[in-house]
Amino acid sequence: MGAACRINRAQPVMSAASARLLDYLRDELATMAADVFKINAASESSCPPVRDALLPIQCSFISSDS
């Protein structure tokens, strides 16, 4: 299952969002190796703070659905 499916978005929408993120960060988040994306060290280290920032947003949507 791809990232777009996991977050219930179409692949072109996900690609556009990724392109905007790359432009904003001015860095490649991953490289392609043997048809597999390998994330770089900067991407790996940014996962916990990004997850922490997004969790309250996700929780607010879940609680508003109830």
Hunting for tokens 């790996």 — which residue is that? 44
> How confident is the model over 10-42, as pLDDT tens digits?
888 888 887 887 787 777 777 777 877 788 888
What is the rounded distance in angstroms from the CA atom of residue 52 to the CA atom of residue 47?
9
Task: Name the pLDDT band for 62 (thresholds 50, 70, 90).
Answer: confident
Q: 44: part of which helix (H) or strand (E)? A: helix 41-65
pTM above 0.85, yes or no: no
Which residue segment(s) compose the domain that 8 sits in?
3-65
Task: State residue 1's pLDDT score.
Answer: 61
